[in-house]
Amino acid sequence: MMADLLRHLPLAAAFVLGACAASAAQSSASTPPTHAPAASLSASPTTLSPPVTTAADAERRVAPSGKARVTILARGANAFIARLEMDAGATVPEHRDATEEYIHVLQGSGTIVVDDQPFALAPGSTVYMPANAKVSYQNGDEPLVGLQVFSGPEPAAKYDGWTPEA
C-alpha cells in the first residue's frame, strides 16, 4: 500500500502545485502563516502543516458514521491533501465545496455524480470537481483509497468535526 502511495506521489505533487498556483491569486496574507505539529492542526487557514509529514505521523480522523477516514498529509494556506479511505458501500451525500477538489483513486471503485452527471471510478481515475459543484458519491463493493486535494483549505475544515483516531 505504501508503494502505491509513493508511486502516485508525483501526481499528487502536481495537483498540489497546480492547486497552490490556482488559488494564490485568491489569497491575501494579513498575517504570516505559522507551522504547527500535525496533532494540533485546526481549520485556521494560517495554521500550516510542518514542512515534512510522514504518513505514519500524520493526523488521522474518522467520519461520524465510522465508514470513512482521512489521513491529513498536508494542510496549508492555499491547499490541502489527504489520503481518503471509505468502506465498501459507503456514501457521500450531495454537497458543494467552496474550492476545487481533486481525487485520484488508488484502489476501489464507485460512482461519483458531479453536477448531475454520473461517472464510474476505478483505480487510476482522477476526478476534478470545480468550486461549488454539486457532488455525491456511492462507493462500490470494496474499500476505496484515494488521494484528495482541495485547492483551498476551507472545505477540509469539515474534517475537524470528525473524531481523531489514535
Cell of 154: 476551507
Order of all β-strands in the sheet with 80-86: 126-129, 101-107, 144-150, 80-86, 68-75, 59-62, 163-164
Q: What is the pLDDT of residues 112-162, one digit of tens each?
A: 999 999 999 999 999 999 999 999 999 999 999 999 998 876 767 777 778
pLDDT at 48: 81
* 12 and 149 Cβ atoms separated by less than 8 Å: yes
**This prediction's pTM:** 0.68
Q: Band of the pLDDT at 77, cuts 50, 70, 90?
A: confident
All three cell numbers of 116: 448531475
* pLDDT tens-digit readout, 35-75: 343 333 344 444 688 889 899 999 999 999 999 999 999 98
Query: Is pLDDT of 33 > 60?
Result: no
Specify the DSSP element, H or E, that contains 5. Answer: helix 2-7
Longest dimension (CA), the chain: 47
